[in-house]
Each structure stands twice: as C-alpha cells, then as structure tokens.
Amino acid sequence: MEQNEYYSKLFDEYYSYVYAIVYNRLRGCAKREDIEDCVSEVFVALFRFLDSGKKSDSMKNLIFGIAKHKSSDMFNAVTGHRHRTFTLDDEHTENIPDDLNIESDSERREMQHIVFQNIKSLGEPDATIIMQSFYYNKTSGEIAEMLGMKASAVRKRQSRALKKLKDKLNMHEEDML
C-alpha cells in the first residue's frame, strides 16, 4: 500500500476519535476553527512520527497521546495559561475562608479521582460516552455525531459501560473495607 493511501486510511479511521479527544479539551474555550486546526496538527505530528521510522505498540495509544499533547498546547495558547505559579504570601492568605474543611475536600477529590480513573479504564469510546453524557450533559444523538456512531449504539454502549463502572466501583469499595 502506498504511503499516502495508508495515511488517508489512518485519517479516515481515526478522525472521529481524534476529534472527540480534542473537542473534549477545547470545547469551552476554543473556536471551531481552532479545534479543527488542532485535529490537523495531531495528524501532522502522527505522520511525522511514522515517517521517522519509530514504532509504537499501539496506534490508538500513540494517537491518544499526541491528541492529548496537542490539545493541551492549544488550550494553553487559547486561554493564555502558561505554567502559572504563585507563592502563598501573607497577603494571599487573607482570601482563604476560615471554614475550609481540608479533610472533606481531600476525600471528595480522592473519590472524584477514583471515579475518573475507573471511567478511563473503560476504554474508548465508552469513557468518552460516559464523560460526555454525565459531565457535559450531551445527548446520545450529540455524542453519536461526535464519535461517528448511531445514537442507538451510543445508548447501548452507555448502558453497558455504566454497569461495568458500577461493578468496578463496587469492587473498589470492597477493597477499601
């Protein structure tokens, strides 16, 4: 198979996947053109990687990594977030509320982390379906369009993914006891 034909097939096969990753990261801050530019940058980086002769164990993992990296770069460029740091001087501490409950906040963040890790462990496209549905309130039709699937397939995958997620969280809870 000719190289251009191979790249064209890769593009066709993974476009929806890349678009979903980039869209998830940039949807609240970037214009549609920025999102499409970022998707293009992902494929340029992928093709350059493949041209270099380097190998990857999994094409999907390689594409996921490149898409996450490029979308983070675009997010930083669009929002102006550039490795911001601050020091906690006396003048900054006056804005911290006295009723701050570090223990409950820590537990809540730990629970969010556990849930998010379990969602990620579902794999794609199930993780994207769950995230889009429950965190971004997208309908099955909107998710289907984003992922290049049928709405009925999204609903079925969502149902199965929720059962898997429930089982995983129940297992995690039993391990904690």
pLDDT value at position 8?
Answer: 86
pLDDT value at position 101?
Answer: 57
**Residue 74 — very low, low, confident or very high, per pLDDT cuts 50/70/90?**
confident
Amino acid residing at 155: R
**Residue 146 — very low, low, confident or very high, per pLDDT cuts 50/70/90?**
confident
Q: Rounded to an integer, what distance in angstroms lies between the CA atom of residue 62 and that of residue 44?
A: 13
pLDDT value at position 85?
Answer: 43
pLDDT value at position 177?
Answer: 56
Digit-coded pLDDT (tens) for 79-113: 775 444 444 444 444 444 445 555 666 677 777 77
Determine the 3-state secondary structure of 126 from DSSP. helix
- Average pLDDT of span 10-33: 87
Which of 69, 73, 1 lies closest to 30, judged by CA? 73
Q: Rounded to an integer, what distance in angstroms lies between the CA atom of residue 15 and that of residue 31?
A: 18
How crowded is residue 72: how many other Cβ atoms within 10 Å of its Cβ? 14
pTM: 0.47
